[in-house]
C-alpha cells in the first residue's frame, strides 16, 4: 500500500486522569518524543468515554481515536476500565458494520509510571493510522475544512 | 455572552523555547467569546496570578483558560486565584501545553499549532463550564475498628487517646487475635501475652472504647463521615452484663470433648468456655454445636452452678445499629489450610504440626504446660525438622505466590528457643532463602546459626513419611552440597503461608473497598497512601493489607489511627463537586446507572411530576448522593436516555473539546 507521507492524521486521545494522563505528563517530563498529531482530552476515568464521543470524532474528521486507561485491576474507581473494555468491544462490531477500519480505534492501558509506553503507543498508533490514510467513511463532509 | 480570558505562560523557556507563545496568545485572542488574551513569563508566580485576578475583575470574565503546565500541577493554584477574584473556581480550565506539547515536540511550527488547538479545546470547554460549589457533609465523631487483634487494639487505643469514641467489633469471644496465641516474639523473645494482655485490659477499661466481642459487621451504608453500620451480636447464651468470668461453669460442664480452637485443636475444652485466662471481655460463651442443653434440651448444669444467673439458653442474635465517621479494617490473617500438601503428611500424622501449633505446644498455657512433647505419644522429640515456604512463593497454583514474610523470623525464633531449652535436640531448617530484613532481624538469625548451631540447609523437602516405629522420614535435597538427604525426625514443623481472613472479602464488598487477587485489601497508593483505602473514610490496619510482623502491624495501626483522627477532627468535609447528576425529567428509572455505580451512590425515588392537563404522575427516577459519588462517570455512559451527566466533564463539554480538536 502506498503511504502518503504528507498526510497528517488527526488523532484524538482520551486519557483517564489518574493513570494515562499522568503517564502522558511523564513522557513530557522525560522529554520523550511522539508525533504532534495527538491531542489529549482529559477524562476522569476511561469509563467516562461514551462511544458517542468516538463516533463524533470520526464524524468531525478525526482519523484515529485512542482511549487510554489504567491497567485492569488498577482503576482508581475500582471497575471503570472493565466497563470501557466491554463498551469498546461492542463499539468495534458497530465500526465493522460501518466499514471503519478497526485500527483507527484503539484501547490501551497506560499507567502513571509508563511515560515511555505512552510515547511508543502514540508513535505506533499514528504510524498505523498514517498507513490507513484519511478517514472518509464516517466523515461528515459538511464539517470538512474548506 | 461569555467573556473569556486566555493566559499563556512562557514557563521561562520551558514552553517558550518550542512554542511561539505570542502567536498562541494572538491566535486564541480571535476565538469567539475571548475578550483578553495575554502571555506572561511565569503565570503561576505571584505577579502572574495577580495578572489573572486583575483581568477577572477588570474585564468581568466569566471563564478563564490558562495555557501552561499540566493541570495536575497548577490547576488548584489558578482555581484559588480565580476564587479570590470572585470567579467560581470551576470556571477555570487549563490547556496543558508544557508536558503534553512543548516538552514533547522539537519543531516550533507544529508545537505552536498544537498549542493553539489545545487552547481552542479548552476555550470550547470553558464556554460550557458551570459554576460548581462543593458540598459540605458533617462528620460523625465516632470510629469503628473491625477486628480486635493487636492491629485493631492499637488503632482503637490511639483513636480513643485523641478523645474520640471507638467501637471494636471482634468475631471471636475475646479480643487479642493471633498475637494472643503466640508464645514469644522475635527478635527480643518477649513473652507475647505479657506485652499484649495489658493492652487488651487498657482497651476494655478505656471509657471511650466499646468492645463488641463475638460480633460481626452485617451491613454498611453511607459514606465518609457518615457511615451507618449494623453490627450482629451473635448469641453467646450468656448475659455479658451478668457474667463475672468466675469460670465455674467451664469446670462443671459435662461436655468435655470439644476441640479447643485457641490451642489449635491440640487439646479439648468444654461446651461452655472462656478462650483463655486473660480473655477480654472475660465472659463465658456456650458453643451451640456441642451444648447438650441447646441441642436436645437435657443438661442445664451451667445454669445451675452460675451464681450470677448469667446463663440464658434463649438468647438470640441481636442487631445494633450505630453511626460512624471513619472505619478502620483490621481483619488480620490466618495460616492457610494444608489439605493440598499431602506430601508433608500433615493430615494423618499428628507429629507434623504447623508453626502456630508449635507456638501453643511450647506455650506455658498450652496443652502441655510449656513442655515440648510430641502430640502422638507425649515423648520428648530429639530431632525436629522445620520446612519453610509451605504454600508461600508457589508458582504451581496450589499455594500463594507471595512471600508470607514472617516465617523466616519465627522459625529462627522457634529453633533458637528449642535449642536453648533442650540442647540435646537437633534442629534442621530447610529453606529456599532466609529473608531477614528488619531491625535486629539478621543478627537474630545469625545467632540461631552461629550460637545455637541450628542446621540451616538450603533446599526443599520433597516428602515426609511417618514410619512404623513412630519416627518420621524426611526426604529432602541439599542444594548447596548437591545431594539427597534422609532425616530421621521426631517432629516436623511446617511454616504455613498466611492468607487474609475469610471474612475480609464479604466485608470488602460491604465497604466497597478494593482487594487484590489474594484478598488483601488494596491501599490507595502503594507508597504514599499505604494506610488508606481508595474509598474515602475507610482505613487499613495490619495484616489485612499484606503480610506483616508485629512491629509493622503496630506501626500501621497507629498510622491508620492518625488518618482516622485527622478525619474525625473535622466538623465537616468538603466533597468533590465534579459528581454525576441526573435530569429527572429525562430519567426513565431503568436502573442501568445503579448497576454500574461502584460506590452505590445512586438510589431511586418516586417523585411526583406535573403532566399535561393539570394532572400529576408519580415516576421512579434516579438520584445521585453527591457525598458518595466519586465522579468516575460510568453511569453517564450507561444511561440510555442521556439523563445522567457529570459535572465538570459533561457530555457537551467533552463533545465541544472533540469538535475543537477535529476542526
CATH number of domain containing B10: 3.40.50
User: Residue B530: inside a domain, yes or no?
Assistant: no
> Are B484 and B557 in the same domain?
no
Q: Please tell me which of the candidates A12, A45, A51 has its beta carbon nearest to residue B632.
A: A45
Lowest mean pLDDT among B229-238, B305-314, B543-552, B591-600: B591-600
Question: How confident is the model over B589-638, as pLDDT tens digits?
Answer: 999 999 999 888 999 999 998 888 899 989 999 999 888 888 999 999 99
Tabulate helix, strand, coil % of chain A (nearest 5). Answer: 45, 15, 40
CB contact under 8 A, A10 and B662: yes
Residue B630, domain CATH: 3.30.70.3270
> Are B147 and B40 in the same domain?
no
Residue-level pLDDT, tens digit, chain A, 146 residues: 566 778 899 999 999 998 899 999 999 999 999 999 999 999 999 999 999 999 999 999 999 999 999 988 778 887 899 999 999 999 999 999 988 999 999 999 998 888 899 999 999 999 999 999 998 888 777 766 55
Q: Please tell me which of the candidates A41, A44, A60 has its beta carbon nearest to residue B631.
A: A44
Concatenating the DSSP letter of every residue in B289-348 gives TT-HHHHHS---HHHHH-TT--B-TT---EEEEEEESEEEE---EEEPP-TT-GGGTTTT
Q: Which helix (H) or strand (E) holds B32?
A: none
> Are B555 and B590 in the same domain?
no
Q: For cell 393539570, what's the residue? A: B614
Residue B381's pLDDT band, with cuts at 50, 70 and 90, is very high
Where are the alpha helices (H) located in B623-662, listed in sequence order?
634-638, 651-662
Cα B330 from Cα B486, distance rounded (Å): 43
Nearest CA in chain B to A63: B662
Nearest CA in chain B to A35: B105
B28 within 8 A of B34, measured Cβ to Cβ: yes
Among residues B275, B313, B273, which one has the least CA distance to residue B294?
A: B313
Inter-chain CB pairs, A–B, below 8 Å: 132
User: Residue B518: inside a domain, yes or no?
Assistant: no
Cα B353 from Cα B264, distance rounded (Å): 10
Rounded to a whole number, what is the distance in Å from the CA of B655 to chain A's nearest CA? 6
Residues of chain A found within 8 Å of residue B114, distances taken between Cβ atoms: 36, 39
Domains observed in chain A: 11-139 (3.40.50)
Q: Cα–Cα–Cα angle for A80, B512, B536, nearest 5°?
A: 90
Q: What is the pLDDT of residue A6?
A: 83
User: Residue B526: inside a domain, yes or no?
Assistant: no
> How far lies A96's CA from each of A54, A68, A117, A133, in Å?
14, 21, 28, 17
Residues of chain A found within 8 Å of residue B634, distances taken between Cβ atoms: 45, 47-48, 77, 79-80, 83
Domain end call among B447, B482, B499: B499
Mutate to test the interface with A, among B509, B661, B663 (most CBs of A within 10 A): B661
Judge whether residue B9 has pLDDT over 70.
Answer: yes
Instruction: Provide Rg for chain B, Cα atoms.
Output: 32
> Are B428 and B563 in the same domain?
no
Residues of chain B found within 8 Å of residue A56, distances taken between Cβ atoms: 655, 658-659
CB contact under 8 A, B633 and A44: yes
> Are B221 and B245 in the same domain?
yes
Q: What is the pLDDT of residue B628?
A: 83
Phi/psi for B439 (5° steps) reads: -65, 125
Q: Please tell me which of the candidates B111, B632, B649 has its beta carbon nearest to residue A36.
A: B111
B659 touches chain A (CB under 8 A): yes
Rounded to a whole number, what is the distance in Å from the CA of A1 to chain B's nearest CA? 26
> Are B375 and B322 in the same domain?
no
Cell of B224: 465518609
Cα B398 from Cα B343, distance rounded (Å): 13
Question: How confident is the model over B486-500, as pLDDT tens digits?
Answer: 999 999 999 999 999
B192-205 vs B150-161: helix crossing angle, rounded to 10? 40
Q: Please tell me which of the candidates A28, A47, A79 has its beta carbon nearest to residue B98.
A: A28
A89 within 8 A of A54, measured Cβ to Cβ: no
Rounded to a whole number, what is the distance in Å from the CA of A53 to chain B's nearest CA? 6
Nearest CA in chain B to A58: B662
Mutate to test the interface with B, among A6, A32, A42 (most CBs of B within 10 A): A42
Cis peptide before B281 (omega within 30 of 0): yes
> Are B309 and B348 in the same domain?
no
Q: For cell 470550547, what's the residue? A: B124
Contacts of B555 (CB under 8 A, 6+ apart): none
> Are B478 and B593 in the same domain?
no
Residues of chain A found within 8 Å of residue B74, distances taken between Cβ atoms: none
Instruction: Provide the ipTM.
Output: 0.95
> Are B74 and B168 in the same domain?
no
Concatenating the DSSP letter of every residue in B399-444 gives S-SS--SSHHHHHHHHHHHHHHH-TT-EEEEEES-----STTHHHH
Q: What is the pLDDT of residue A137?
A: 81
User: Residue B239: inside a domain, yes or no?
Assistant: yes
| Sign for the pseudo-dihedral over CA of A5, A8, A14, A18 | positive
> Are B319 and B234 in the same domain?
yes
Q: What is the pLDDT of residue A144?
A: 64
Range of the structural domain that residue B236 is part of: 142-173+190-332+537-568
Q: Please tell me which of the candidates A21, A73, A77 has its beta carbon nearest to residue B632.
A: A77
B100 touches chain A (CB under 8 A): yes
User: Residue B446: inside a domain, yes or no?
Assistant: yes
Q: What letter would DSSP give residue B31?
A: S
> Are B362 and B480 in the same domain?
yes
Question: How confident is the model over B51-74, as pLDDT tens digits?
Answer: 999 999 999 999 999 999 999 889
Domain count, chain B: 4
Q: Please tell me which of the candidates B72, B514, B517 has its beta carbon nearest to residue A22.
A: B72
CB contact under 8 A, A28 and B105: no
Rounded to a whole number, what is the distance in Å from the CA of B229 to chain A's nearest CA? 22
Among residues B77, B79, B3, which one has the least CA distance to residue B42?
A: B77
CB contact under 8 A, A48 and B634: yes
Q: For cell 511522539, what's the residue? A: A34
Q: Which helix (H) or strand (E) holds B632?
A: none
B170 within 8 A of B233, measured Cβ to Cβ: no
User: Residue B381: inside a domain, yes or no?
Assistant: yes
Nearest CA in chain B to A37: B114
Nearest CA in chain A to B645: A48
Nearest CA in chain B to A32: B104
B118 touches chain A (CB under 8 A): yes
A26 within 8 A of A105, measured Cβ to Cβ: no
Q: Please tell me which of the candidates B71, B110, B638 has its beta carbon nearest to residue A42.
A: B71
Distance in angstroms between the alpha carbons of the first and the last residue of chain B: 22
* pLDDT more than 70, % of chain B: 100
Q: For cell 491531542, what's the residue? A: A39
Question: How confident is the model over B118-143, as pLDDT tens digits?
Answer: 999 999 999 999 999 988 889 999 99
Residues of chain B found within 8 Å of residue A32, distances taken between Cβ atoms: 104
Q: Is A109 left (phi over 0), alpha (psi -120 to 50) or beta?
A: beta
Residues of A with CB under 8 A from a CB of B: 10, 12, 21-22, 24-29, 31-34, 36, 39-45, 47-53, 56-57, 60-62, 73, 76-80, 83, 87, 119, 143, 145
CB contact under 8 A, B662 and A36: no
User: Residue B400: inside a domain, yes or no?
Assistant: yes
Mutate to test the interface with B, among A40, A74, A135, A141 (most CBs of B within 10 A): A40
B111 touches chain A (CB under 8 A): yes
Q: Please tell me which of the candidates B71, B111, B633 has its beta carbon nearest to residue A47.
A: B633
User: Residue B338: inside a domain, yes or no?
Assistant: yes
B663 touches chain A (CB under 8 A): yes
Where are the alpha helices (H) located in chain A, listed in sequence order?
20-29, 51-59, 80-98, 115-132
Among residues B576, B553, B650, which one has the least CA distance to residue B126?
A: B650
B96 touches chain A (CB under 8 A): yes
Among residues B384, B476, B381, B383, which one has the least CA distance to residue B431?
A: B476
- The Cβ of residue B279 has, within 10 Å, a number of other Cβ atoms equal to 23
Q: Which of residues 567-626 of B touch A (CB under 8 A)?
A: 578, 596, 598
Residue B473, domain CATH: 3.50.50.60
> Are B226 and B94 in the same domain?
no
Rounded to a whole number, what is the distance in Å from the CA of B126 to chain A's nearest CA? 13
Amino acid at each position: 500500500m502506498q503511504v502518503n507521507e504528507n498526510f497528517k492524521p488527526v488523532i484524538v486521545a482520551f486519557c483517564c486522569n489518574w493513570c494515562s494522563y499522568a503517564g502522558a505528563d511523564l513522557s513530557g517530563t522525560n522529554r520523550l518524543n511522539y508525533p504532534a498529531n495527538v491531542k489529549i482530552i482529559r477524562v476522569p476515568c476511561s469509563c467516562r468515554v461514551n462511544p458517542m464521543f468516538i463516533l463524533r470524532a470520526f464524524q468531525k474528521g478525526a482519523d484515529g481515536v485512542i482511549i487510554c486507561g489504567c491497567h485492569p485491576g488498577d482503576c482508581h474507581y475500582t471497575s471503570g476500565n472493565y466497563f470501557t473494555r466491554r463498551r469498546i468491544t461492542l463499539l468495534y462490531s458497530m465500526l465493522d458494520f460501518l466499514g471503519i477500519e478497526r485500527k483507527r480505534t484503539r484501547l490501551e492501558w497506560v499507567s502513571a509510571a509508563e511515560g515511555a509506553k505512552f510515547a511508543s503507543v502514540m508513535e505506533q498508533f499514528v504510524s498505523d493510522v498514517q498507513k490507513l490514510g484519511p478517514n472518509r467513511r464516517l466523515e461528515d463532509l459538511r464539517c470538512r475544512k474548506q | 455572552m461569555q467573556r473569556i480570558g486566555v493566559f499563556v505562560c512562557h514557563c521561562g523557556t520551558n514552553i517558550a523555547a518550542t512554542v511561539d507563545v505570542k502567536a498562541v496568545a494572538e491566535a486564541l485572542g480571535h476565538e469567539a467569546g475571548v475578550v483578553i488574551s495575554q502571555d506572561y513569563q511565569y503565570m503561576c508566580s505571584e505577579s502572574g496570578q495577580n495578572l489573572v485576578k486583575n483581568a477577572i475583575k477588570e474585564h468581568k470574565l466569566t471563564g478563564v483558560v490558562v495555557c501552561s503546565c499540566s493541570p495536575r500541577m497548577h490547576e488548584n493554584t489558578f482555581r484559588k486565584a480565580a476564587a479570590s477574584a470572585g470567579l467560581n473556581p470551576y470556571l477555570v480550565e487549563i490547556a496543558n501545553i508544557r508536558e503534553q506539547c512543548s516538552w514533547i515536540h522539537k519543531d516550533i511550527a507544529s508545537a505552536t499549532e498544537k498549542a493553539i488547538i489545545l487552547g481552542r479545546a479548552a476555550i470550547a470547554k470553558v464556554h460550557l463550564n458551570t459554576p460548581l460549589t462543593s458540598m459540605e457533609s458533617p462528620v460523625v465523631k465516632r470510629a469503628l475498628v473491625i477486628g480486635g487483634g493487636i492491629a485493631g487494639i492499637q488503632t482503637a487505643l490511639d483513636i480513643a487517646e485523641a478523645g474520640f469514641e471507638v467501637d471494636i467489633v471482634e468475631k471471636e469471644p475475646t479480643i487479642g487475635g493471633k498475637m494472643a496465641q503466640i508464645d514469644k516474639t522475635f527478635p527480643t523473645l518477649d513473652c507475647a501475652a505479657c506485652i499484649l494482655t495489658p493492652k487488651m485490659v487498657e482497651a476494655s477499661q478505656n471509657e471511650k472504647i466499646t468492645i463488641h466481642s463475638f460480633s460481626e459487621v452485617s451491613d454498611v451504608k453511607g459514606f465518609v463521615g457518615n457511615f451507618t453500620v449494623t453490627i450482629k451480636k451473635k448469641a453467646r447464651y450468656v448475659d455479658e452484663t451478668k457474667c463475672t468470668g468466675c469460670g465455674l461453669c467451664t469446670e462443671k460442664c459435662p461436655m468435655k470433648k470439644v476441640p479447643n480452637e485457641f490451642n489449635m485443636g491440640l487439646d479439648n475444652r468444654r461446651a461452655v468456655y472462656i478462650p483463655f485466662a486473660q480473655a477480654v471481655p472475660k465472659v463465658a460463651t456456650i458453643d451451640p454445636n456441642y451444648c447438650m442443653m441447646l441441642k436436645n434440651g437435657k443438661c442445664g448444669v451451667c445454669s445451675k452452678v452460675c451464681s450470677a444467673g448469667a446463663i440464658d439458653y434463649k438468647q438470640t442474635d441481636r442487631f445494633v445499629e450505630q453511626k460512624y465517621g471513619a472505619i478502620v479494617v483490621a481483619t488480620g490473617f490466618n495460616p492457610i489450610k494444608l489439605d493440598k500438601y499431602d506430601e508433608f503428611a500433615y493430615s494423618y500424622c499428628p507429629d507434623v504440626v504447623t508453626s502456630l501449633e508449635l507456638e501453643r505446644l511450647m506455650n506455658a498455657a498450652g496443652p502441655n504446660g510449656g513442655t515440648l512433647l510430641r502430640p502422638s505419644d507425649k515423648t520428648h522429640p530429639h530431632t525436629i525438622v522445620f520446612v519453610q515456604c509451605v504454600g508461600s512463593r508457589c508458582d504451581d497454583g496450589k499455594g500463594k505466590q507471595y512471600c508470607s514474610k514472617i516465617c523466616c523470623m519465627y522459625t529462627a525464633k522457634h529453633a533458637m528457643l528449642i535449642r536453648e531449652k533442650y540442647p540435646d535436640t537437633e534442629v534442621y531448617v530447610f529453606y529456599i532463602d532466609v529473608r531477614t530484613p528488619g531491625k535486629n532481624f539478621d543478627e537474630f538469625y545469625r545467632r540461631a546459626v552461629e550460637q545455637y548451631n541450628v542446621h540451616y540447609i538450603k533446599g526443599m523437602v520433597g516428602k515426609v513419611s511417618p514410619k512404623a516405629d513412630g519416627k518420621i522420614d524426611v526426604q529432602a535435597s541439599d542444594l548447596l552440597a548437591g545431594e539427597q538427604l534422609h532425616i530421621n525426625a521426631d517432629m516436623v514443623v511446617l511454616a504455613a503461608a498466611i492468607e487474609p481472613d475469610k471474612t475480609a472479602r464479604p466485608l470488602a464488598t460491604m465497604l466497597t473497598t478494593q482487594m487484590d487477587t489474594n484478598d488483601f485489601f488494596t491501599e490507595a497508593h502503594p507508597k504514599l497512601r499505604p494506610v488508606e483505602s481508595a474509598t474515602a473514610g475507610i482505613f487499613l490496619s495490619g495484616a489485612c493489607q499484606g503480610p506483616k510482623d508485629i512491629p509493622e502491624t503496630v506501626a500501621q495501626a497507629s498510622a491508620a489511627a492518625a488518618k482516622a483522627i485527622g478525619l474525625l477532627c473535622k466538623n465537616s468535609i468538603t466533597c468533590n463537586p465534579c459528581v454525576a447528576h441526573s435530569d429527572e425529567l429525562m430519567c426513565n428509572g431503568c436502573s442501568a446507572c445503579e448497576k454500574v455505580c461502584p460506590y452505590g451512590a445512586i438510589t431511586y425515588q418516586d417523585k411526583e411530576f406535573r403532566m399535561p392537563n393539570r394532572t400529576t404522575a408519580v415516576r421512579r427516577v434516579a438520584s445521585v448522593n453527591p457525598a458518595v459519588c466519586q465522579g468516575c462517570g460510568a453511569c453517564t455512559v450507561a444511561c440510555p436516555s442521556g439523563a445522567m451527566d457529570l459535572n465538570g466533564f459533561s457530555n457537551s463539554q467533552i463533545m465541544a473539546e472533540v469538535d475543537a480538536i477535529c476542526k
